[in-house]
């Protein structure tokens, strides 16, 4: 690492060339991170690399510029390195945001680069910074080219210090191909990488690659293949990082919600994804989870809380789903159809239009329930007008289905063409209160039985107590015996 006089001289030379002081400090911070990667390669302590990656992609990602990365590549890569010129070629004649290019010493100091061999960890780290910069700059094809190179460099390398870097490389490898429209082309490669990670017990890469494969399938609506992949693989939730765990729960929820019998399971997965998601950032992920959660909850016959749609920075993107929820809540089929037609592009882009179309029956049932509470007798013609149905025959079929499902208790008079609600029965004249009371008693009895079972094999505190009592008794007997012997000695 550079000494303080060298750092001061370097910063003074950069400032004299017209570089802003904030950029000089940023370059110094990045150089410090690179030296920590060197430290990881020397000591094999991965904790240093984890800290570097957290700072790089959490704090510095939106701050670096082209000339900063170019200076890092020129300073730390040896001149004879085969990939140095290839990395510098990505910058071309760019110098960033109108700032004079930074002139740095091409020859790294002895503390910055080992004399024997340039560490692969540093090469991957600096190349990863360039890859992220290419993606952020919209140069997706070049990003695909560089990511392919990085993946090929990682193949056959099984060092533990490369595991955190390989996770990032695989993620941006998939991301660059997705943005360039080549996501389907890397599916076979992702499978090969996932198989290799399993064979080498690389848990970090396993979880990341499994999520990338699920995203790849869901992007092309291959839900059956995604379901088979989940059933045939194991996701180690106990050792997975929280961000990968949130993604996995989200993908599970999207897959499960296609089956009407698994709405409740899908809702639980999505709730877990919301809990694992960051609260202060990753707004795009939170919005995606809230959208699908809202639809699944409506399909279950429940109404989402209004506060879910009124979160800060999310109100505008969730407004179509708030309007949809209001239409379902009031049973207004006309408003429901209008909102679908008006926001069709949004629902299609979010890939929720098929699930939303399933909610038509829920809207009708809600409307029929409200009608049954308001009218003791109503004609099918009036039901058609209130629910905006196409014909009287449709209304009759829908009412028959609702009565069979238990939405409300009524009888149909086909001759008169109306529906008559049955009189409300006093619930206390039935056995329902007794059944509810019995269910509660059974619940508490089960809790009591579980508590007794848990106490049966507790640590042997009673044994310790008995041992203490035995020791005390033995001690008393010894004291009595000693006192008796002392008396005998005095007597003789």
**Three-state SS at 196:** helix
Looking at residue 20, its pLDDT comes to 54
In this prediction the pTM is 0.74
CATH number, domain of 401, equals 1.10.10.10
Q: Is the residue at 45 inside a domain?
A: no
- Are the beta carbons of 167 and 205 closer than 8 angstroms? yes
Alpha carbons 3 and 104: distance in angstroms, whole number: 16
Least confident of 81-90, 128-137, 181-190, 382-391: 382-391
Q: What is the pLDDT of residue 112?
A: 42
**For range 318-342, the mean pLDDT:** 90
Determine the longest span between alpha carbons in the chain, in angstroms: 123
How far is residue 91 from each of residues 67, 73, 77, measured CA to CA in Å? 8, 11, 15
**Model pLDDT, residue 462:** 52
DSSP sequence for 112-158:
TS-SS---HHHHHHHHHHHHHHHHHTT-HHHHHHHHHHHHHHHTT--
Domain that holds residue 413: 375-421
**Is residue 351 domain-shared with residue 385, that is, in the same domain?**
no
Which band of pLDDT confidence, cut at 50, 70 and 90, is reported for residue 334? confident
**Four-residue CA torsion sign, 114, 119, 123, 124:** negative
| Claim to verify: residue 335 and residue 290 sit in the same structural domain | yes
Q: For 391-404, what is the mean pLDDT?
A: 77
Is there a single domain that holds both residue 397 and residue 352?
no
Q: Which is nearest to 121 in space by CA: 74, 64, 169?
A: 169
Burial environment of residue 439 by CB neighbours within 10 A (0 to 12, 13 to 18, 19 or more): exposed
pLDDT in tens, 264-280: 999 999 999 999 888 77
- Give residue for tokens 């180690």: 236
Q: Average pLDDT of 394-399?
A: 77
54-92 per-residue burial string, b: 16 or more CB within 10 A, e: under 16:
ebbeeeeeeebbbbbbbbbbbbbbeeeeebbeebeebbe
Neighbouring CB atoms inside 10 A of 271's CB total 16
Task: For residues 304 and 262, state if they share a domain.
Answer: yes
Model confidence pLDDT, tens digit, residues 148-167: 999 999 988 888 888 899 99
Q: What is the pLDDT of residue 248?
A: 95
Q: Is 415 within the bounds of a domain?
A: yes
pLDDT of residue 290: 93
Residues 313 and 397 placed together within one structural domain of the fold: no
Residues 261 and 312 in one domain: yes
Mean per-residue pLDDT for 98-105? 38
Same domain? 313 vs 339: yes
- Residues 403 and 340 grouped into a single domain: no
Band of residue 114 on the pLDDT scale cut at 50, 70, 90: very low
Q: Indicate whether 267 belongs to any domain.
A: yes
- In tens, the pLDDT along 403-432 reads 777 767 777 877 777 777 776 666 777 888
The three-state (H, E, C) secondary structure of 108-124, written as one string: CCCCCCCCCCCCHHHHH
The C-alpha atoms of residue 180 and residue 249 are separated, in whole angstroms, by 26
Number of domains in the chain: 2
471 belongs to a structural domain: no
Of the CA atoms within 13 Å of residue 256, those in its CB half-sphere come to 20
Q: Is the pLDDT of residue 390 over 90?
A: no
Give the DSSP H/E element, type plus range, for residue 379.
strand 377-379
| Cα distance between residue 473 and residue 257, in whole Å | 68
Q: Which DSSP helix (H) or strand (E) runs through 360?
A: helix 360-374
Locus of tokens 């690179």? 34
254 assigned to some structural domain: yes
């Amino acid at each position: 690492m550079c000494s303080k006089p060298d750092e001061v001289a370097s910063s003074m030379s950069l400032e004299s060339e017209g570089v802003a002081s904030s950029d000089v400090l940023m370059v110094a911070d990045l150089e410090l991170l690179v030296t920590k990667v060197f430290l990881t390669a020397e000591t094999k302590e991965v904790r240093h690399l984890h800290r570097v990656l957290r700072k790089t992609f959490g704090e510095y990602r939106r701050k670096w510029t082209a000339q900063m990365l170019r200076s890092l590549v020129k300073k730390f890569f040896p001149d004879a390195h085969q990939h140095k010129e290839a990395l510098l070629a990505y910058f071309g004649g760019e110098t960033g945001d109108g700032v004079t290019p930074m002139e740095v010493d091409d020859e790294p100091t002895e503390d910055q680069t080992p004399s024997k061999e340039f560490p692969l960890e540093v090469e991957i780290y600096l190349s990863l910074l360039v890859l992220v910069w290419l993606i952020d700059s919209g140069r997706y094809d070049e990003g695909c080219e560089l990511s392919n190179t990085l993946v090929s460099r990682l193949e056959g390398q099984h060092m533990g210090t490369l595991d955190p870097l390989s996770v990032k490389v695989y993620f941006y490898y998939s991301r660059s191909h997705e943005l360039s429209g080549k996501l389907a082309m890397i599916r076979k490669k992702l499978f090969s990488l996932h198989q290799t990670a399993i064979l080498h017990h690389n848990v970090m890469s396993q979880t990341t690659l499994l999520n990338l494969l699920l995203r790849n399938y869901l992007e092309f609506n291959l839900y059956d293949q995604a379901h088979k992949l989940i059933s045939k693989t194991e996701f180690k939730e106990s050792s997975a990082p929280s961000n990968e765990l949130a993604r996995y729960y989200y993908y599970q929820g999207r897959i499960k919600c296609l089956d009407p019998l698994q709405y409740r399971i899908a809702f639980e997965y999505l709730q877990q994804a919301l809990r694992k998601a960051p609260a202060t950032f990753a707004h795009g992920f939170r919005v995606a989870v809230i959208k699908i959660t809202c639809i699944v909850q409506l399909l279950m016959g429940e109404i989402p809380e209004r506060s879910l749609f009124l979160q800060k920075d999310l109100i505008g993107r969730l407004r179509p789903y708030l309007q949809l929820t209001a239409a379902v809540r009031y049973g207004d089929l006309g408003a429901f159809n209008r909102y679908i037609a008006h926001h069709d592009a949004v629902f299609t882009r979010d890939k929720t239009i098929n699930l939303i179309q399933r909610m038509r029956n829920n809207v009708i049932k809600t409307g029929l329930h409200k009608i049954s509470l308001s009218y003791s007798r109503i004609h099918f013609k009036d039901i058609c007008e209130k629910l905006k149905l196409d014909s009287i025959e449709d209304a009759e079929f829908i009412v028959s289905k609702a009565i069979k499902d238990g939405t409300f208790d009524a009888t149909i008079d086909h001759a008169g063409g109306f529906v008559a609600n049955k009189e409300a029965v006093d619930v206390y004249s039935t056995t329902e209160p007794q059944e509810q009371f019995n269910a509660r008693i059974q619940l508490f009895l089960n809790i009591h039985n579980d508590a007794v079972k848990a106490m049966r094999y507790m640590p042997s505190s009673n044994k310790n107590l008995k041992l203490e009592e035995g020791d005390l008794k033995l001690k008393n007997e010894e004291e009595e015996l000693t006192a008796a012997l002392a008396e005998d000695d005095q007597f003789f």
